[in-house]
Amino acid sequence: MTAPRVLIVEPDSAFALSLAAVVRDEGWTSAVAGSAAEAELEIAARRPGLVVMRAELPDLSGFSVCAQLRHDRSMERLPVILYSSDTASESLAEHARTPWAANGYLAMPLDTAALTSMARRLLAPPEPTELPDDDPDLLEVAPPPRPPTLPPPAIPPPGGPPPLRAAGPPPVPRRPRRELLTEEDRLFAGRVFQSIADRRDALIAETERRRPPPRRDLLATPEGRLTLLREDLKWREAQLARLAEIWEIREREVASVDERIHARDVEVRRARQEVEELQRKLADAARRLGDQDREHGASIEGLLSEKFKEEKELIEVVAGTERTLHELERELRTREERLAAAAEEAAGLGARIEALGEQGRGLRQEVAERDGRVEGLERSALERDERLAELTEEVEARDALLRGARREVDRLQGELSAARQALMLRETELRGEVDRARFDVEEVGGLLAQTTRERDEALARAVAAEVELAAARAEAGAIGAELEATRGMIEAEAAEPTILERIGPGSAGPAVPERE
């Protein structure tokens, strides 16, 4: 079973290729037309299964094209989906109630999901469905009733050979050389080939046999020359039939090339969409990476500032403790000096020595208390160092996460480069195929132009031969009249009596003596 074919009528080629990519994703084949005239030619050449058409076209509105299809008996059942950006939903609903309504309506911006679901229902076998009437942007209508058929316009028959003239055919004007085939050229070729369509098989069989050389005895008379010209014209018609067959084959090849080009365009558009999606993902990843870098930097700056603050406080505490210890040491040295001086004077001062000993013990107890405080400060410094080690490990873990994110960015950049290279290769192949197709079309156009010129020359020779034949027939008629007049004179002379008969046998004259 062949895939359904969807014709997309959209003047914007990029948007048309995007819709074609959506259609290809559903497994259907697609074709693109940029105007109403191109759409009519495409529908006439290869009828699609569905037409998706924009209402705003450059040459004719989509509503008018839909009305023309509905008035055509062969196209009145063709499913049509219209979408518009300038027409209000009330106008679309009003058009849906007319006899030439479309099968579905969509509003811009186009909802691809609604388009694919509507296309599935229209391409599927017909089933009774209820029409939604609560959504102003999505309207579906049943197939419209059959409109009254209009008589087809009278088409003048193709012109035959030019009328005979006694003075001979007029000179054929030189036509300017053209390089491209237009739609008028294709229509002209179709009309020319249609003129021999009923005898095409016999004419093609005529080209397969070898043509005998012209008989010399026929060149002596106008009828013979006319017979040779007719045989030449028949042989040219056989060549034209063969050329028609070759033209059809070439048209099929060109159509297949156009389809492949369209498929490549759709693939290129899809690849560009994938590249844009990858670029968007890359931008999102870069943005997330930047956010993570900023968050990571902010957290590291906070940790470092906290670390510097704690280190500063710890240094201040240690410095204060060291200053206190230095003061205590100086005080202790002073008191020891005093004790030494007092020991030298201890001879008669025992009571004072005992008092000074008690004072020394009190000072030693105070020094012990100061030593305990120093040990507590050292433990606090050790706890601060452990906290600093934990913060350093957290910073290393975030650095590893940052390196993984950067590797992901590098991988995405590699995929983007590969996609760009594949896109460039596809565009190069597409250009090569387009150049080959254009060369083949130009070759066939040259052959067709040469055949047309030969046919025109043969027709001119045939007209000249007809003129010569008419002149020969007139001359033969004059000669025949003269011959009839001569015969009448001869018969009249034969009917009159001779001189001997008028004289008679008695008056034959004197007798001639016989010789001895």
pLDDT one-digit tens code per residue, 173-190: 555 555 556 666 777 777
* Inter-residue contact 141 to 103 (CB < 8 Å): yes
In single-letter form, the type of residue at position 344 comes to: E
Average pLDDT on 30-44 reads 90
Q: What is the dihedral of CA 357, 358, 363, 366, to 10 degrees?
A: 150
Peptide bond into 212 cis (omega under 30): no
User: Is the confidence at residue 236, as pLDDT, over 70?
Assistant: yes
Q: How many angstroms separate the CA atoms of 454 and 447, rounded?
A: 11
- 214 CB-near residues (< 8 Å, 6+ apart): 228, 231
Give the model's pLDDT for residue 180: 57
Q: How many angstroms separate the CA atoms of 418 and 217, rounded?
A: 76
Residue 197's pLDDT band (cuts 50, 70, 90): confident
Termini Cα distance of the chain: 123
* Inter-residue contact 122 to 79 (CB < 8 Å): yes
What's the Cα-to-Cα distance from 376 to each of 317, 328, 366, 380, 382, rounded to whole Å? Answer: 11, 18, 16, 6, 10
Give the model's pLDDT for residue 163: 42
Residue 83's pLDDT band (cuts 50, 70, 90): very high
Give the model's pLDDT for residue 511: 47
Q: Where are the domains of the chain?
A: 5-140, 300-419
Q: How many angstroms separate the CA atoms of 59 and 374, rounded?
A: 96
User: Is the confidence at residue 499, as pLDDT, over 60?
Assistant: no
User: Is the confidence at residue 350, as pLDDT, over 60?
Assistant: yes
* Nearest by Cα to 263 from 470, 443, 63, 31: 31
Give the model's pLDDT for residue 2: 77
User: Is the confidence at residue 289, as pLDDT, over 80?
Assistant: yes
In single-letter form, the type of residue at position 126 comes to: P
- 103 CB-near residues (< 8 Å, 6+ apart): 79, 80, 81, 122, 140, 141, 142, 143
Predicted TM-score (pTM) of the model is: 0.38
- Helices and strands counted in the chain (H then E): 10, 6
User: Is the confidence at residue 151, as pLDDT, over 60?
Assistant: no
Alpha helices in 180-221 (DSSP H): 183-194, 200-208
Two structure tokens written together for 487:
């015969």
What proportion of the chain, given as a percentage, has pLDDT over 70?
82
Q: What is the dihedral of CA 338, 341, 343, 344, to 10 degrees?
A: 180
Two structure tokens written together for 314:
């710890």
Report residue 284: phi and psi, to 5°: -65, -45
Residue 345's pLDDT band (cuts 50, 70, 90): confident
Residue 114's pLDDT band (cuts 50, 70, 90): very high
Two structure tokens written together for 290:
């930047």
- Report long-range pairs for 359-363 (Cβ below 8 Å, ≥24 apart): 360/335, 363/331, 363/332, 363/335
- 292 CB-near residues (< 8 Å, 6+ apart): 401, 402, 405
Alpha helices in 72-150 (DSSP H): 89-96, 112-123
The SS3 of residue 13 is helix
Q: How many angstroms separate the CA atoms of 31 and 450, rounded?
A: 33
User: Is the confidence at residue 456, as pLDDT, over 60?
Assistant: yes
Residue with tokens 């105070």: 366
Q: Please, what is the Cα angle at 333 between 330 and 334, to 5 degrees?
A: 85
What's the Cα-to-Cα distance from 55 to each of 40, 52, 111, rounded to whole Å? Answer: 15, 10, 16
Residue 501's pLDDT band (cuts 50, 70, 90): low
CATH superfamily label, 5-140: Response regulator (3.40.50.2300)
Better-predicted residue by pLDDT, 399 or 47: 47
Of 80-94, 170-184, 275-289, 306-320, which one has max mean pLDDT? Answer: 80-94
What proportion of the chain, given as a percentage, has pLDDT over 90?
13
Min mean pLDDT across 81-85, 133-137, 304-308 is at 133-137
